[in-house]
Structure 1
Amino acid sequence: MVASGLRQPHQIPLPHSPASHPNPKSAAMSRKGKGKAKEPTVAAPKRRVQVPSTEPSSGPSWDWTSLTDSLVSNVAPIFTKDGSYFFSLVGSSVRIYAVTTGKIVSTLSIPRPTGYDASSDTLTCAVLNPHNAFQLITGSLAGVLAVWDFLEATLLQIVDIAQPIHHICVHENFKDSVFVTASRPGKKAVVDDNAIVLRVSLKPADAASQSTVQKSSEITPIGKIRLPTGLAFSPGGAWLVAVAGHKAYVASTASFKSGFTKYVSPERLTCLAFHPTEDYFATGDEKGNIRLWYCLNEQLPVKPVGVEKKTQTTTLHWHAHAVSSIAFTSNGAYLLSGGEESVLVIWQLHTGKREFLPRIGSPIKTISVSKVASGEEEYLLGLADSTYIFVGAASLKISRSYSRIKLDPATNAPSTSKHPPTPLSVHSLTSTLILPSSHPASLQIYSPLSSTLVSELEVSPSNRVSRRDDKPIEPSRVDRATISPSGDWMATIDTREGDEDTHGESYLKIWRWDRKTGFWILNTRIDRPHGLEKVLHVAFSPATEGQPVLLVTTGKDRNIKTFRIQTAKNKSAASEEFWVARSTLSLQNECPSYISWSPDASLLAVTLPNRVALFNPSTNLLRHSVAFPEFGPIDAAYFIGKGRYLAVVGPLNLALWDLVDQRVRWHYKSSTPIRSLVSHPRDDTFAIVCSSSNEERPKSRVALFSVGSAQPTKSLSLPFGFRNIAWYPFVASSSFSLVGVTHDWKVVVLGENIHLAKEEGAVSRELASHAAPQRRTLFQDIFGKSAFGEQTNATQPSAVPASASSSRPWTGREGAGAFDDPAYLLPPLEKLFEPLMSGFLKLRVVEPSAPPLAVAENEDVDMDSQGHTTVTGADRKRMLAEGEIEALVGLFRKQTLKAKAPVIVGTTPRRNGLVNGQTNGTSSRPHPKPHGTPAPSKAVVSSPAAASTPSTPVVNGKKRKKSLG
């Protein structure tokens, strides 16, 4: 496969394009002048370009799906009344999570009304109906209020108010009404003074009562405000408060016509929370201050329109950045706050003291408070990287956390570069993805097959946030992560830009996969592998027999460095492997940008600005050089399939070089810039990603090629651009499957015949038949969990047909699910006692003994009528061990078989009755009898009740004649 010689592509005649049809007249005209006597040795670029004249060939359609959620909602999760589930808004859907397991048990998808843009149906608010705890009311930017019965997963009502909804609040004093903040019609959302508070009746208008999308019978405006950040009722329902901009808007519910009274804040307000029992509220602002407002007991002006007032407030300050969320505990004694510092602050209101739960892992977006069945409170924190964390109120420790792919666009996008390198790699041993995490100095390991986050790897420890007034500190960032084809090694490059105060840092870290523990362990760290210059590319050599694994890096210092594994013995005489530098190579002061290994590791293709150099990696000798003058700069070169072809990529050009024939097979020119190329690991096919340079609305196109033609076989247009893309083996066939990180930090999967396992709860379904595991009840705490039998499988319906239940034997577990329902749905305990006892305990039925049957003479009697016993599934509870059976056999032989038959006084023992005897009845010979004893005329069958009659063993299954005495 090694190519030799130094012929350049422009010295080799190219084949005619099969898709082009040159005109003979134009060909003759091209021979006029100086060149008419010679055949051209260099074909014009148009002859090499095969512009597809038709659409790509039909075949299995390409599809794509996103593995990440939409941006994290700023709406705090809402708990059900019993605390078993909580609701989270994700895009246009409501996800219902089980508190105990963190799994999604149901997803409520809001239908899009006719005439609305699909991009504007994002849910912005949700609240439980105060008059029905099983109904959820949501609002969206499409101006739609939706009422759900979440137990049955049924959409009950859709009310359209034709204005984008931002916040919603309800109170039990106002039945069938909700209060919302909405953007005014005809105003743009970017304008600050464009919102209004409305009272919307959920009763439909008479004209639209039968339609799917209904109109409200009454919409009453309360007052105009700026773009709101919070809306809430006081505990007693006497006050309605909204915060927007630098003001708090207060309205008395007794007189909505009076409008709002405005109270001024020195800083812009970001969040709002009401005390659960008293009439005062708390706000957070963008400077990190928390204020307690005591203005609800004052006498409001008669005409407060346009009046701005100041009131008494109490200030709590610790946060250096904006306060994202605040919440009171259920008893009102503590106030919780969180923000960008990734620290939960617990304020004790009557003393002003505070406690901290630091190093949460990501900025805190939302805070919710819930009570568990035991009465202890739990705090649910929603983080910026889509992680939910539960914190125990008593211990102030993280009890459990639930997360998926953790990506935070605010922290991953550096301030110095518009197109930063994004690490993305696939671990073949575990089929997991190596992705950037919520912090740029960490990596996360995610499994697409199970939709779970496996672990997180902190490559470079660093501070999470900086001080507010100082210049932001640029953190260390993981630029590249490359895994060897064998899956045993991973190389990462983490850098930190220097400034006038600090020096820049660059580290090459090589990690080894521990198969026993399933973690990456740092093996070797190399400081500044290319000096003060940046590392451009890292690549491992393929795993081949007889050849060691090599690691090659290129940098802006114009050097190509090779590293190898060295083995040494430590103090305990055990062998250790670590990486050392092997060689350094430079090429005529040209800067190498990309490295590609051939599948058999016999060639190393180094991409230079104007050519591609092929090296023998064992000797570092240059074997061949390929140049493309018409390309301009060359971005990268890739080995295709089994290694015969080399795809050379420029900004708008793609050429396929045949290493064996030493010629260009075909040339393709793209109308949009080519960003990357992904080769199929087994077949001679590859895909290119072309995207436009429009950063506001990035779009891309993925085209699939084979080595035989310059016309793409398949093409897929995507509404996003890629930061990085890689091959992922979702299927074992020849189909293409790719995974990539988009410009808006989403992870998407695209290709042919991709079948990802649907996550449980991805569709709407009833919670009654798919209930989450419940906490231990009071009866289980007293008597143990086994007292009521095994719990019903949550995946099976709880309702059983009557015919099926009547045919099953009674097991004593029929009342096991009596306490599965929430406590507020159960009747009083004194009314449950009798039904439960009758369900748990079964009365013993005493059957009257049947009178003995009169048996006629010489009638056949079946002595085995009671020999068979039906064993039900409920009686077969324990498997007998082999020793127990042997002990029973020995006992039976000792006590039964070898026992002597009882002897009647005055008679001689007989030898009948033995199981192994010759006769199993009366003796064939008469025995001598005592003098004076009358001899019976026939044998008599003795009754067990007769103590004077000896018992005669009978073998089951035998029949004999019964004679009368």
Structure 2
Amino acid sequence: MKDANQPNRAPKRPRASDAKLSNDDSGERVKRSRLSPNDDGKHSVQPTAPAAIEDAGSRKSDPSDWSLSHPLAGQYSNLDPAFTLDEEYIFLGLDTAVHTYSVATSCLFRVLQPGNEHRVVGYRLDPADQTHLYIFTSDGSVSKWDWTSGKQVAHWDGNGKVLDIDSALYELEGDTRLMSYSVREGNDGKREVAVLALRDGEASDKVVLKSPLRIGNLKIARQGRVVVAYGGPHILVGTANAPQPDSLESMQYTWGEVSLPTHITCLDIRENEVSGRHAAGKDSGNAQSIDLVIGQADGSILVYHDAVRFFLGNKEGRGSAPRRLHWHRGRVNAVRWSRDGNYVISGGNEPVMVLWQLDTGRKQFLPHLSAHICNLVVSPTGNLYAVKMADNSTMILSARELQPYATITGLQLRPKSNKSVDQTKKKARQPLASTPAVLHPRYPDQLLVAVPTSGTSEGSHTLATSSVLQTYDIRTNSHISRQAVARTNATALQISPEGSEIGTPDIKHLDVSQDGKWMATIDAWKQSPQDASDKAGINDLELFLKFWRWNKGSNLWELVTRIDSPHFLDGNSVPVLGLGRRPSSQEFVTIGVDGMLRFWCPTTRPRSGLNTGHDAEKQPETWKCRSAIDLQGPIGSSKSRPLSAASITFSGDGSVLAVCLPSLSPTKPGLTLIIDAQNSAIHYSRVGLYSGDPCAAGFMGRHLVVASSQSVSVWDTVNDLVRTTKLSDLGPASPSSASRLLAVNTKTWTFAVATRCCVGNKPCDIESHTQVYDAATLEPVSQPSLRDCPLALLADPRSGGYIVIDAAANLRRLGSLDSASQTIQPGDLPVDINTTGLAKHLGSQVRDSHRVPPADADKLPPSQTKGLANVFDVPSFVLPPASVLFRDVVQSLFGS
């Protein structure tokens, strides 16, 4: 780092390492403008003449070896988990795949990925062979998998839009077949209940019900002899006319319809051999007797005993009315019978699981879950409960003690909203929102991303805010830790006494210093419109800049300094437009709507009575603003007109800071400033690099890449040569392209841009793409399309590729095929499921022991006992996965 008192040096000559780009530049060279000092000794900002601009948008790219990997992580869909019969493995459904996890180790074992890219609507284990799993997709196709090896063994094509499925074994035509019952949308707009018989090499189906009602879910019981379909406030119960039909064509059902006062949200069936509670007549224990429990949108639960008799019988023989249970404030998201039928288990929009004892009417609660419950599943033996929550995590509990011993946590990004037409059109008009995320500078396999405290409840009108920092290992595809870095609510009931929703602060920016010791975050909180109107004249925005120091002992970020309102206008906080870290230095820089550029650095905090000299073991530190630059003058604006957009980026050595500012009018181009990071002085300015508002920028050697709302430009800062592309290859840009994502990678000398483009005349016809360009030729080398909207685009310094994070919480690697993948694929694991990982040693012991045997502390050095205390200094239900726990124990015992 050079001395601030040294005179400014002349511009550096082009280096030999820069010849990779300079060879492709045109022969026309534009002379670089010199700085002319004013009388007061300061440098004046003078725009230079426009340079030659090379339009590379029309060039054709050659076939490349870049590809997009299969998605990692992912958001768990609203499908019930499924246990194997031995309860050693559990299946969790994603949007387009099914993940298999080991219950003993909570580690991912297999990823079953159907190749049609359609949404997975259900999956069922083969009752005849537990090593086979059937996966059903929304286009009606069915695939059969050997989940122990991860290989697909059979496939059946389908037709029609399938909404929900259930299955059972059926003896038909002298052969045992898997019968699939599905709700699908017919060509005439009506809903159909169809039966599909699967056999090797062929599949045949029959429609057993057509209804104008908007049914969307179904469940079957008694091996298909009882079918329950529901949707909205309507429920239909069908019973087979023949106990054992001779063929598929002869299958017929008798249906009964009942309309309830409110919408049905969930339902569960229990096959009751003998209806003991409300037995009436000799038909109560027949082969069609079932018990039904229904969860409703108003928070109530209805319990029907002998439901077939109630729904299909005459008025005299229906029996008693259903039993009504009510505790949940809002809708009931999941409801289940216990195996013995004595309990009903429910979960709603509260982080509480409720167990209803039907005989006594008493309730038992399991509170303080990490988020509200989405799905509940009881294991085949009834000894385990699987609770899937809205924060993209699944907890497996013991049914007796309600003690968790397995937790599966995915990437906990904001969940996708419901895809209704109105919401899709509204979403298409919104800017492309980005999620604060960075790769750890020292450990590139660790992803640091801002995630919500808990998931969004159904019916919530506000988007979940990100107040928690999650660390995720993208190499092993596993969760590491999460930590609150902004103010969080003490209760999950985020409703004020007036009925308005209480929001938490939202992390807008985060970054980590190059040595990994410091992290800077910016979180903002804004009052609700109702509260803001009651307090006119009071600033309704709270914004904090926080500096965190990494603690190796506790493996947590410790808050060192909090800066209130780092940027302000007229005494009120204003948003921060950008945050950047300075390479090779422990400094950060921020730029705000007020047009101020501030440099932040650590300093020693003196304390009275404490030794703060060089001999002090640990000096207290704080952060301060060492310098600030007012950018309103260079852009010709005034304080009354705040900035609308800005992008900042440092050069590779940290000596130069580039600031990209928007134009003041549509006819004027944007302005780029080159600032000496050490002296905090503007050394050069340039207009005409880009058109529109700047979205992101990055340095590649001496070249500056700027992505704006209309183009992407590469500026050779030494030769003052600009090349640009209009990004018009994929169609006209949508209004959401105003927030393009950019990442540069100097290892492969490429840069990537994530954008969304219009592909039709309708507002909702939007496609997301990620384009990778060769910085030397500005030709696209890869243009893969994305299923979901990209939220973050990061450069992988190890592989030379890129990491794309989308709205479905998927992680995808975008890179060349010749570079080795850094991700451990579950398919590389052994086929023998009985000796996989730690399952061989922990498979039967985890459930029987909930405490770790204490080590003999007298035989261990003090440093090792302290290290072990740090490893186990958390409650048992928040311990990390077994692999991480084993690694921490080994490091504490044998680490230097």
If the length of structure 1 is used for normalisation, what is the TM-score? 0.65
Residue 462 in 1 paired to residue 488 in 2?
A: yes
Q: Is the 8 A contact 2:750 2:772 kept in 1?
A: no
What is the Cα deviation at residue 403 of structure 1?
1.9
What is the Cα deviation at residue 260 of structure 1?
1.1
Among residues 469, 473, 480, which one is paired with 1:447 in the alignment?
473
Inter-CA distance 230–283: structure 2 relative to 1 (3 Å threshold) = farther
Among residues 806, 830, 844, which one is paired with 1:742 in the alignment?
806
- Tell me, in whole angstroms, the C-alpha distance in 2 between the residues paired with 1:337 and 1:611: 58
Deviations 1:648-668 (A, max 9, x none): 44433444444444x335444
Residue 408 in 1 paired to residue 414 in 2?
A: yes
Inter-CA distance 284–3: structure 2 relative to 1 (3 Å threshold) = farther
Structure 2 counterparts to residues 137-216 of structure 1, below 5 A: 137-146=134-143, 162-165=159-162, 166-170=164-168, 176=177, 178=179, 180-188=181-189, 193-196=190-193, 198-202=194-198, 212=201, 214-216=202-204
- The residue that corresponds to 2:876 in the other structure is none
- The residue that corresponds to 1:818 in the other structure is none
Q: Is the 8 A contact 1:104 1:760 kept in 2?
A: no
- Tell me, in whole angstroms, the C-alpha distance in 2 between the residues paired with 1:247 and 1:259: 16
- The residue that corresponds to 1:679 in the other structure is 744
- The residue that corresponds to 2:233 in the other structure is 246
Among residues 303, 311, 315, which one is paired with 1:292 in the alignment?
303
What is the Cα deviation at residue 567 of structure 1?
0.7
Can you give the 5+ residue segments of structure 2 that lack an aligned partner in the other structure?
1-6, 12-21, 29-46, 243-250, 276-289, 454-465, 533-539, 612-617, 663-669, 849-896
What is the identity, as a one-letter code, of the residue corresponding to 2:682?
L
What is the Cα deviation at residue 537 of structure 1?
0.7
Q: Secondary structure at the match of 1:762?
A: helix
Among residues 355, 361, 364, which one is paired with 1:352 in the alignment?
361
What is the Cα deviation at residue 515 of structure 1?
3.4
Structure 2 counterparts to residues 13-24 of structure 1, below 5 A: none
Inter-CA distance 637–284: structure 2 relative to 1 (3 Å threshold) = closer
- The residue that corresponds to 1:378 in the other structure is 384
Q: Secondary structure at the match of 1:460?
A: coil
- Tell me, in whole angstroms, the C-alpha distance in 1 between the residues paired with 2:90 and 2:481: 25
- Tell me, in whole angstroms, the C-alpha distance in 2 between the residues paired with 1:682 and 1:297: 67
Among residues 251, 259, 262, which one is paired with 2:257 in the alignment?
262
Residue 126 in 1 paired to residue 123 in 2?
A: yes
- The residue that corresponds to 2:682 in the other structure is 622
Deviations 1:105-146 (A, max 9, x none): 344555x6xxxxx344x3322334555555544433232445
Q: Secondary structure at the match of 2:620?
A: strand
- The residue that corresponds to 1:692 in the other structure is 757
Inter-CA distance 159–310: structure 2 relative to 1 (3 Å threshold) = farther
What is the Cα deviation at residue 542 of structure 1?
1.9
Inter-CA distance 582–44: structure 2 relative to 1 (3 Å threshold) = closer
Q: Secondary structure at the match of 1:88?
A: strand
- Tell me, in whole angstroms, the C-alpha distance in 2 between the residues paired with 1:618 and 1:155: 59
- Tell me, in whole angstroms, the C-alpha distance in 2 between the residues paired with 1:153 and 1:715: 29
- The residue that corresponds to 2:864 in the other structure is none
Q: Is the 8 A contact 2:142 2:155 kept in 1?
A: yes
- The residue that corresponds to 1:611 in the other structure is 671
What is the identity, as a one-letter code, of the residue corresponding to 1:582?
R
Deviations 1:182-210 (A, max 9, x none): 3253145xxxx5132x34444x5xxxx7x
Among residues 81, 102, 105, which one is paired with 1:101 in the alignment?
105
Q: Is the 8 A contact 2:228 2:238 kept in 1?
A: yes
- The residue that corresponds to 2:36 in the other structure is none
Residue 81 in 1 paired to residue 81 in 2?
A: no
Structure 2 counterparts to residues 560-959 of structure 1, below 5 A: 560-570=597-607, 573=611, 574-586=618-630, 587-588=632-633, 589=638, 591=643, 593-609=646-662, 610-628=670-688, 631-633=690-692, 635=694, 638=697, 640-642=699-701, 644-661=702-719, 663-671=720-728, 675-681=740-746, 686-692=751-757, 696-706=765-775, 709=777, 711-712=778-779, 714-719=781-786, 721-731=789-799, 736-752=800-816, 753-757=818-822, 759=824, 761-762=826-827, 766=831, 772-773=839-840
Q: Is the 8 A contact 1:567 1:576 kept in 2?
A: yes
Inter-CA distance 453–348: structure 2 relative to 1 (3 Å threshold) = same
Inter-CA distance 474–288: structure 2 relative to 1 (3 Å threshold) = same
What is the Cα deviation at residue 445 of structure 1?
1.0
Q: Is the 8 A contact 1:595 1:607 kept in 2?
A: yes
Structure 2 counterparts to residues 14-53 of structure 1, below 5 A: 48-51=53-56
- The residue that corresponds to 2:505 in the other structure is 476
Q: Is the 8 A contact 1:234 1:240 kept in 2?
A: yes
- Tell me, in whole angstroms, the C-alpha distance in 1 between the residues paired with 2:403 and 2:602: 43
What is the Cα deviation at residue 536 of structure 1?
0.7
Q: Is the 8 A contact 1:104 1:762 kept in 2?
A: no
Deviations 1:611-630 (A, max 9, x none): 222333444333222222x8
What is the identity, as a one-letter code, of the residue corresponding to 1:737?
G
Structure with more of its chain in strand, by fraction: 2
What is the Cα deviation at residue 164 of structure 1?
4.0
Q: Higher relative CO (CA 8 A, sep ≥ 6), structure 1 or 2? A: 2
- Tell me, in whole angstroms, the C-alpha distance in 1 between the residues paired with 2:117 and 2:110: 23
- Tell me, in whole angstroms, the C-alpha distance in 2 between the residues paired with 1:3 and 1:692: 45
Among residues 540, 560, 564, which one is paired with 2:581 in the alignment?
540
What is the identity, as a one-letter code, of the residue corresponding to 1:265?
L
What is the Cα deviation at residue 529 of structure 1?
1.6
Once the two structures are aligned, what percentage of the paired residues are identical?
A: 21
Deviations 1:736-775 (A, max 9, x none): 3112333555332212244335545437985567664376
Deviations 1:893-922 (A, max 9, x none): xxxxxxxxxxxxxxxxxxxxxxxxxxxxxx
Aligned-pair RMSD on alpha carbons? 4.2
Deviations 1:495-518 (A, max 9, x none): 122234153221111111223443
What is the Cα deviation at residue 572 of structure 1?
5.4
- Tell me, in whole angstroms, the C-alpha distance in 2 between the residues paired with 1:68 and 1:382: 19
- Tell me, in whole angstroms, the C-alpha distance in 2 between the residues paired with 1:280 and 1:341: 26
Among residues 420, 433, 442, which one is paired with 1:429 in the alignment?
442
Deviations 1:227-264 (A, max 9, x none): 44543345698743332221222233455756211122
Q: Secondary structure at the match of 2:379?
A: strand
- Tell me, in whole angstroms, the C-alpha distance in 2 between the residues paired with 1:92 and 1:53: 35
- Tell me, in whole angstroms, the C-alpha distance in 1 between the residues paired with 2:588 and 2:359: 62
Q: Which has the higher Rg, Structure 1 or Structure 2?
A: 1
Q: Secondary structure at the match of 2:792?
A: strand
Q: Is the 8 A contact 1:106 1:766 kept in 2?
A: no
What is the Cα deviation at residue 267 of structure 1?
1.1
Deviations 1:774-808 (A, max 9, x none): 76779x99xxxxxxxxxxxxxxxxxxxxxxxxxxx
- Tell me, in whole angstroms, the C-alpha distance in 2 between the residues paired with 1:48 and 1:776: 65
- Tell me, in whole angstroms, the C-alpha distance in 1 between the residues paired with 2:704 and 2:311: 80
Inter-CA distance 678–71: structure 2 relative to 1 (3 Å threshold) = closer
Deviations 1:708-738 (A, max 9, x none): x5x426343433553332222232xxxx311
Residue 391 in 1 paired to residue 389 in 2?
A: no
Inter-CA distance 247–518: structure 2 relative to 1 (3 Å threshold) = same
Q: Is the 8 A contact 2:167 2:181 kept in 1?
A: yes
- The residue that corresponds to 1:784 in the other structure is none
Can you give the 5+ residue segments of structure 1 that lack an aligned partner in the other structure?
6-14, 22-40, 113-117, 782-965
- The residue that corresponds to 2:878 in the other structure is none
- The residue that corresponds to 1:501 in the other structure is 531
- Tell me, in whole angstroms, the C-alpha distance in 2 between the residues paired with 1:18 and 1:601: 25
Q: Secondary structure at the match of 2:827?
A: coil
What is the Cα deviation at residue 70 of structure 1?
5.1
What is the identity, as a one-letter code, of the residue corresponding to 1:186?
N
What is the Cα deviation at residue 315 of structure 1?
1.9
Inter-CA distance 299–692: structure 2 relative to 1 (3 Å threshold) = closer
Range 63-72 or range 240-249, more displaced: 63-72
What is the Cα deviation at residue 98 of structure 1?
2.2
Inter-CA distance 724–89: structure 2 relative to 1 (3 Å threshold) = closer
What is the identity, as a one-letter code, of the residue corresponding to 1:699?
S
Deviations 1:400-447 (A, max 9, x none): 201232223248999996444420111111221112324421121112
What is the Cα deviation at residue 681 of structure 1?
4.5
- The residue that corresponds to 1:316 in the other structure is 325
- Tell me, in whole angstroms, the C-alpha distance in 1 between the residues paired with 2:813 and 2:592: 31
